[in-house]
């Protein structure tokens, strides 16, 4: 998942979540509760670390407050806007 310099977008996030959950990206809806899909804190931490490698100042606590991909994407969009991405 280390893609330094890559732009983080919703579909990449969906694909990365699907990979750690061992399912297809199409199986993860924007409003599905990721915890209900068995995403635990250790997997979430791995995602945060990988996505931070894109240069985004993302922290675990920013995503831990939310449970859906749509909410996570909103957090990422705010961070990208603040960076001028």
Query: Got the DSSP string for 19-52?
Result: HHHTS-GGG--TTSBTTTTT--HHHHHHHHHHHH
Distance CA 45, CA 28 (A): 19
pLDDT digit string (tens) for 26-78?
Answer: 999 999 999 999 999 999 999 999 999 999 999 999 999 999 999 999 999 99
Distance CA 79, CA 41 (A): 21
pLDDT band at 84 (very low <50, low <70, confident <90, very high): confident
Domain ranges for the chain: 12-83
Torsions phi, psi of 26, nearest 5?
-65, -20
pLDDT at res. 5: 52
Q: Does domain 12-83 have CATH number 1.10.1200.10?
A: yes
């Amino acid at each position: 998942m280390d893609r330094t310099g890559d732009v983080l977008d919703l579909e990449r996030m969906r694909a990365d979540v699907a990979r750690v959950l061992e399912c297809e990206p199409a199986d993860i809806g924007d409003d599905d509760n990721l915890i209900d899909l068995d995403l635990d804190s250790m997997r979430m931490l791995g995602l945060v670390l990988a996505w931070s490698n894109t240069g985004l100042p993302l922290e675990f606590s920013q995503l831990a407050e939310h449970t859906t991909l749509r909410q996570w994407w909103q957090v990422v969009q705010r961070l990208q806007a603040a960076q001028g991405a």
